[in-house]
Amino acid sequence: MLGKAQENEALNQLASALRFIDILMKSGRSRYEAEDIAIEVLLAPADGRAFSDNPPEPLSLDNQEKVYRKLERRQEILDLLGELPKKRPPKGVNQV
């Protein structure tokens, strides 16, 4: 069973990966290429724990599904936030 701290750590890593993918796509990378880079750099670095003498236990399918559901919900929220109109500066404030 995954502890709360481990679940939060996994969610934070995956949220970072989603933000990184978005940045890469905005810089011109394809979704496929951006996901590959994010996985290599953030989620499974070559010198990560997975290659140590004591690799972490893989998540159970149930826990994987929980993480993906939470990530999908977070992405939905980020998408909604991205669709909100930008706040206008107060009158008299010059925009750069």
Record the tokens describing residue 8, joined without a space: 């939060």
Give the pLDDT of residue 94: 60
Nearest Cα residue to 59 out of 9, 1, 4 = 1
CB within 8 Å of 55: residues ≥ 6 apart: 49
Give the pLDDT of residue 80: 74
CB within 8 Å of 70: residues ≥ 6 apart: 11
Give the pLDDT mean for 12-28. Answer: 86
Give the pLDDT of residue 5: 82
Record the tokens describing residue 62, joined without a space: 């149930």
Record the tokens describing residue 61, joined without a space: 């399918």
8 Å CB contact between 24 and 34: yes
Residue spans per domain, the chain: 4-78
Give the pLDDT of residue 77: 76
Compute the distance between CA of residue 85 and CA of residue 17 in angstroms, rounded to an integer: 25
pLDDT over 70 at 1, yes or no: no
Record the tokens describing residue 19, joined without a space: 């933000």
pLDDT in tens, 42-96: 666 556 565 666 767 777 888 888 888 888 887 877 777 776 665 666 666 565 5
